[in-house]
Structures are given as structure tokens and as C-alpha cells.
Amino acid sequence: INAVFMGVGGSFDVLSGHIKRAPLWMQNAHLEWLFRVANEPKRLFKRYFVGNVSFIRKVLRAKRGYKL
């Protein structure tokens, strides 16, 4: 599947003033996700670390099945 996915849920939280944005140096380093995990570990740890590892593992398994 050729697709582009873009998560915007955190953007709504920032725009509504519910949560504050990461410091500028973290924004410039593309580490806003890490700032969010540090501020909401119970909610986001599983999503970013467990879920992403599982996704990467599945992609690598699928890639092994295809010949280039």
C-alpha cells in the first residue's frame, strides 16, 4: 500500500492549550515526541516504544518475503 499517514492528535492538544509545546531546541531536533513521552509516560510509552517495535518487526518480516 502506498500511503501517507499523519498524526495530528497532539496538535489539537497544543492548539487548545491542553498541553504545552516542547522547548525550541527539541522542536529543532525533531524530538517533540520524546518531550510528550516524558510528560505523559503512562499514556504514550506503549504507543511509541512497544507499538513501534512491533511494527518494525512486522515490516522486516514482510520485507524478507519479497525479492528485489
For residue 54, the model assigns a pLDDT of: 86
For residue 29, the model assigns a pLDDT of: 97
What does the domain layout of the chain look like in residue ranges?
9-64
pLDDT (tens digit per residue) in 2-59: 888 887 878 888 899 998 999 999 999 999 989 999 999 998 888 888 888 888 888 8
Q: What is the pTM of this model?
A: 0.61
For residue 38, the model assigns a pLDDT of: 93
- Exposed, middle or buried by CB within 10 Å (0-12, 13-18, 19+), for 22? buried
